[in-house]
Amino acid sequence: MRRHWNEGGGTGNRMLFQLSATDLVAPSQGLNIRVAYQGLPGAFSEAAALKAYPLCETVPCEEFDVTFKAVEMSVVDRAVLPIENSSDGSIHRNYDLLLSHRLHIVGEVQLAVNHCLMALPGVKKEGIKRVLSHPNALAQCEFKLNKLEVIQQNMHDTAGAAQIIASDNLRDAGAIASVQAAEIYGLNILEKGMQDLSDNVTRFLILAREPIIPGTDRPFKTSIVFTLDEGPGVLFKALAVFSLRNISLTKIESRPQRKRPLKVVTDSNHGTAKYFDYLFYIDFEASMIEPRAQNALAHLQ
């Protein structure tokens, strides 16, 4: 288990625990729901978990893969992981992990991301020579960071960047992280709203061991993944099964087949050719209890 210390700030010294792959032992039963997320306390993923479950106990994990395993092994009840950002697009690592773990999507939450520039107490903005954060966060703040003319250093997560500045007493460095991270690690916020686009939103999925029971009492969304044989217009035909039944698609994502990335197609006119073989991820607005959704998937199959 990796231990992290906060050695400064008004919140006092705190030892922070973050799950690693070797810590996945099922806990005793408790009353509160436990929600895993990737990162350290103060990460935006933790904020998303608390938005989804305000009274939950959040459990930080080292890697995205560990959050999946924590749910599978009943160490936690749920996992919250980012899947898409309005500035950076899809988080492909998590799309791949969805296929390699037997968990169910039971909800989603959208979180407005406010990136803050922070540093140790007494450090001024002009004294910062380098800024630490997750590469996605740095990319989302590219314009303002370039104006500061600082070195940008990639870190594993935003809260981890704040934690390292506090624990290592880095007085020449700043971090891009959340307001909560500044409070936890005793850093001063030098500027809020560092992101280039003011409307910066991340969409998170909520994962569980058991699926929810679909109904019609409220809007439902369904997520599927499939692959297709090669042929003219085959993807158009696949998507048409939803349009024919007035089902709205909210997300389309393609990922190469990792175990079989290339397929050979024989054409009588042009011989053989190699194509990438893709998996298609689709989110659509319908409950699986509705006949139109059942008919659409039967048609797709």
Task: Please list the active-site residues.
Answer: 202, 204
In degrees, to the nearest 5, what angle opens at C-alpha 95 toward C-alphas 196 and 79? 85
The three-state secondary structure class of 182 is helix
Q: DSSP letter at 19?
A: B
Structure tokens at 14: 């705190």
71, 79 in Cβ contact below 8 A? yes
**How long, in residues, is the chain?**
301
Q: How far is 17 from 33, CA to CA, in rounded Å?
A: 18
Q: What's the farthest any 2 CA atoms get from each other in the chain?
A: 74
Sign of CA dihedral 56, 60, 63, 67: negative
**Residue 289: helix, strand or coil by DSSP?**
coil
